[in-house]
């Protein structure tokens, strides 16, 4: 199981320290949640912050864009050193074009689905994707309650992936802790994103260890 800690709900004055926790851990990726106040009802951080995160992180950066018109910014994320870029299905009229552009820059391409969006809508683009991100909360905020219905979506997506013999990975994001992470892994998830459960834990190093051990 691949783990991608999200820095969304950390104390940003302690960002270096937080990134060092991730660096020394067995977590594989560092998850960055970018919000624009339009696609989601919240603002988070953008290029000026990511530029500095890039200097300190030793883990590949996995950016999750909760913004409208994400295709406008693809090259800038690549130039900052982002390795995997995920755009929302609901934010892209020309999803195929956006995915192709991400791949042309050399980044891994992901598509995220809001809780109401069925996985079947991705069938015709699935083979082009490095990963699909299933949201298990409504995007916009850390620390929300896990939506159990997302488990069924992971099962269904895994089935489609297996049928097509596709290499696409399944990432899950929102309300993931030891318990929900295990349920998602059992359903077929390959990558867990977790913010609150790691960084609001008494001992984040230990929590990462436990999540990695499953
Ligand atoms: C929510 C973000 C998540 C968020 C997860 O919109 O996409 O990545 O940081 O946070 P927790 O783990 O607190 O639900
Ligand atoms: Zn995210």
Q: What is the DSSP letter of 204?
A: H
pTM: 0.98
Average the pLDDT over 73-86 and give the result: 98
Average the pLDDT over 200-209 and give the result: 98
User: Which ligand 1 atom lies nearest to the CA of residue 6?
Assistant: 9
pLDDT per position as a tens digit, 145-200: 999 999 999 999 999 999 999 999 999 999 999 999 999 999 999 999 999 999 99
pLDDT higher than 90, residue 99: yes
Give the bridge partners for 61, in sequence order: 30, 82
Contact 92, 65 (CB under 8 A): no
pLDDT in the model for residue 136: 99
Query: How many A from CA of 162 to the centre of ligand 1?
Result: 27
Q: Return the closest-CA partner of residue 85 out of 3, 181, 76, 159.
A: 76
Contact 98, 89 (CB under 8 A): no
Kindly name the residue from 33, 36, 62, 130 that is annotated as catalytic. Answer: 33
Phi, psi of 36 (to 5 degrees): -115, 0
Instruction: Show the ligand 1 pocket: residues with CB < 6 angstroms.
Output: 6, 8-9, 31, 33, 64, 137, 139-140, 142-144, 173-176, 193-197
pLDDT per position as a tens digit, 104-151: 999 999 999 999 999 999 999 999 999 999 999 999 999 999 999 999
126 Cβ neighbours under 8 A, 6+ residues apart? 132, 160, 161, 164, 166, 168
pLDDT in the model for residue 214: 83
pLDDT in the model for residue 196: 98
Q: Is 109 helix (H, G, I), strand (E, B) or coil?
A: strand
pLDDT per position as a tens digit, 36-78: 999 999 999 999 999 999 999 999 999 999 999 999 999 999 9
Helix (H) / strand (E) element for 169: namely: strand 169-173
173 has catalytic annotation: yes
In 7-141, the DSSP E strands lie at: 30-35, 61-66, 82-88, 108-113, 131-135
pLDDT in the model for residue 42: 98
33 has catalytic annotation: yes
pLDDT in the model for residue 83: 98
Atom 6 of ligand 1, nearest CA residue: 139
């Amino acid at each position: 199981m691949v783990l991608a800690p999200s820095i969304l709900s950390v104390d940003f004055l302690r960002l270096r320290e937080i990134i060092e926790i991730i660096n020394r851990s067995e977590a594989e990726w560092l998850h960055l949640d970018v919000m624009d106040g339009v696609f989601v009802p919240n603002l988070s951080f953008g290029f000026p912050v990511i530029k500095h995160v890039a200097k300190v992180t030793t883990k590949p950066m996995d950016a999750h864009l909760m913004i409208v018109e994400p295709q406008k910014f693809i090259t800038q994320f690549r130039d900052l050193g982002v390795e995997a870029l995920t755009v929302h299905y609901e934010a892209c009229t020309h999803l195929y074009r956006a995915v192709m552009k991400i791949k042309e820059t050399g980044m891994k391409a992901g598509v995220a689905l809001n809780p109401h969006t069925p996985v079947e809508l991705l069938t015709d683009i699935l083979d082009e994707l490095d990963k699909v991100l299933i949201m298990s909360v409504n995007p916009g905020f850390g620390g929300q309650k896990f939506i159990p219905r997302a488990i069924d979506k992971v099962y269904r997506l895994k089935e489609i992936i297996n049928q097509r013999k596709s290499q696409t990975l399944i990432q899950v994001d929102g309300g993931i802790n030891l318990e929900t992470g295990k349920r998602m892994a059992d359903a077929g998830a390959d990558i867990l994103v977790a913010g609150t459960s790691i960084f609001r834990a008494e001992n984040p190093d230990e929590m990462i260890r436990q999540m990695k051990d499953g």
